[in-house]
Amino acid sequence: MQGTRIAFGPFVLDPGIGTLLKGEIPIAVGHRGLTLLAALTARPGEIMTKAELMDAAWPGTAVEEGNLTVQIATLRKVLGLNDNGGEWIATVPRVGYRFNGTVEPLASTSSKPVSSGKPSIAVLPFANPGGDQDQQYLSDGITEDIITELARFRSLLVIARNSSFQFRHRAPDIGEVHRKLGVRYLVEGSIRKIGDRIRITTQLIDAPSGMHLWAQRYDRALNDIFALQDEVAALIASMVEGQAEADTASRSRRKRPADWDAYDYYLQGRAYFHRYEMDKSEPLFVRCVELDPTFAQGHAFLAQALVGRFWYDNDPRTLQKAWNSAQTALSLDRSDGVCHQSMGLVLTHMRQHGDAGTHFEQARSLNPLDVNIAGDCASWLNYGGRAETALQVLESALLRDPLPPIWFWEVKGSSLFLLGRYSEAVASYQKAGDHFFIHAFLAASYAHLGEMEKARAEVEEALTRKSDLTCRLISGLPFADQVDLERFTSGFREAGFP
């Protein structure tokens, strides 16, 4: 919920700054009440149990059920009746409560990009007019690369991929996008591959008015796609900024792949990578660097996929392969933040925390708005005994991009776990996917909360996904601080891992 306002009826709830407005008038509601209202509006129409609500409002604290009843009664008094004459918050006898109403997420006033003083812009996912789902990775991948190119213009504030991509599966309403993302400019377009040629159409829109400012169509050979991405980004930047700052000299350049087929495999691999499907992404990155051994980002993403495999096979040779790939990436392009990010990730798992930090600092310097780099940097901070700082990095990233990649929630969950905020850790881990280690972390969290039935259920889920999982194996996490390691290890033991 951080960084997102919720509108329902005449009310606007901003959990990030702790306010409830009716019209434009602040309504007096206490912290517990706001927390409960945020939890209920996050799941409209769904039943929330009393236990879930008490965990949200009083995390890690044993309280009587009467406290919840008092808070709900106070909220009902403040909210009054909805348009249908019923309660906004309905009681579900002997179970809990349900929020009755339609909610609309709004861009948070505290996180609108326009507040930076820079022109703000979002690139919406380019359409795939042919409708061939096998080519969806192509339009998504090229859109992402245009976002990356625009982000290199330091005079612009570019919305991150994950926030833009929430509009991928429907024709967006410009006014809605403007409200949700808070940007001044939008880029729309389409991509179609026809034989050995590619056709790209693109247009620049003034988001507040919906006015089309510029449009262009390109029809090029496939091998021209890399130069074309640069050209599109430069033209958009010059239209938005309208000064010499938008010249390509104002940004660093990535070293492009020399081979179209290599780039195609790279985009396919990256599509799986963003879905946390490392086993499918790895062979595609391998094929990419086989076809073009000079493509730095191909090697960098291969290194990250290999770290993902290491979590499953725990084989030092896998980690050495990851280091080799990260080192190759850096030798090819030391000016690319993703290359430094990959080496930082590998070195963290090799327990070389000092050197890892050097690379993460360089990565964040080169790509200060990249939520993926922020997430991996926070993971390094967690392992290095700096969970509080890690959480600050993650919260800052969430303000810029409230829809981060799914693995982001695992890192945030671990920050909260290390700070002893186990109920909040559970909520974060539950957003992080279905991998064995997520269930292991959930088991440890429930064990520390004393919820042993839930802990044992998560142990079973973890063992179903990795039958050879043991307490000793999952205790091999690369923590520099033994106290932090013991916090996890004790949770694993109490949960019942063999």
pLDDT tens per residue across span 171-215: 678 888 887 777 878 888 888 888 888 888 888 888 887 878 778
Beta bridge partners of 4: 107
pLDDT tier, 55 (very low <50, low <70, confident <90, very high otherwise): confident
Q: To which CATH superfamily is domain 113-250 assigned?
A: TolB, N-terminal domain (3.40.50.10070)
Q: Residue 242's pLDDT is what? A: 45
What own/partner pairs with CB < 8 Å and gap ≥ 24 does 31-38 have? 32/57, 32/58, 32/67, 32/71, 33/71, 33/74, 33/75, 33/78, 36/68, 36/71, 36/72, 36/75, 37/13, 37/75, 38/1, 38/6, 38/13
pLDDT band at 255 (very low <50, low <70, confident <90, very high): low
State yes or no: pLDDT of 361 exceeds 80: yes
In eight-state DSSP terms, residue 466 is -
**pLDDT tens for residues 323-341?**
999 999 999 999 888 999 9
Q: 0.75 cut: is pTM over it?
A: no
Q: Which of 189, 190, 185, 127 is nearest to 159 (CA)?
A: 185
- Crossing angle for the helix pair 387-400 and 408-418, nearest 10 degrees? 140
**What's the CA gap between 339 and 325, in Å, rounded?**
10
Q: Could you tell me the pLDDT band of residue 98, with boundaries at 50, 70 and 90?
A: very high
Region 248-266 average pLDDT: 65
pLDDT at 227: 77
What per-residue confidence (pLDDT) applies to 30? 66
| Alpha helices in 65-215, H assignment, sequence order | 65-79, 136-151, 161-164, 174-181
For the segment 262-318, what is each residue's pLDDT rounded down to a tens digit? 888 998 898 888 777 888 999 999 999 999 999 999 999 999 999 999 988 889 999
3-class state of residue 191 by DSSP = strand
- Segment (H or E) for 186: strand 185-194
Q: What is the mean pLDDT of the chain?
A: 83
Higher pLDDT, 16 or 141: 141
Query: What is the third-level CATH fold of 4-107?
Result: Arc Repressor Mutant, subunit A (1.10.10)
Q: What is the pLDDT of residues 367-407, one digit of tens each?
A: 777 788 999 999 999 999 999 999 989 988 876 666 778 88
Closest listed residue to residue 161, CA positions, set 375, 413, 472: 375
Each residue of 464-477: pLDDT tens digit?
999 989 988 877 88
φ and ψ of 105, to 5 deg: -65, 140
**pLDDT at position 247 over 50:** no
pLDDT given at position 389: 92
Furthest-apart CA atoms within the chain: distance in Å: 69
pLDDT at 72: 92
What are the DSSP calls for 415-446, one per residue? HHHHTT-HHHHHHHHTTS-S-HHHHHHHHHHH
Give the pLDDT band (50/70/90) at residue 495.
Answer: very high
> For 310, phi and psi rounded to 5 degrees?
-60, -30
- pLDDT category at 1 given cuts 50, 70, 90 is very low
Classified by CATH at the fold level, domain 369-498 comes out as 1.25.40
The pair of structure tokens assigned to 304 is 């990250």
Write down the pLDDT at residue 282. 95
pLDDT score, position 28:
61
pLDDT digits (tens, 9 = 90+) for 204-246: 888 887 878 778 888 888 877 877 777 787 777 766 654 323 3
List, in sequence order, every residue forming a beta bridge with 190; answer none if it has no partner.
Answer: 127, 201
Report the range of poorest mean pLDDT among 106-110, 141-145, 321-325, 332-336: 106-110
CA distance 424 to 279: 30
Percent of the chain with pLDDT over 90: 37
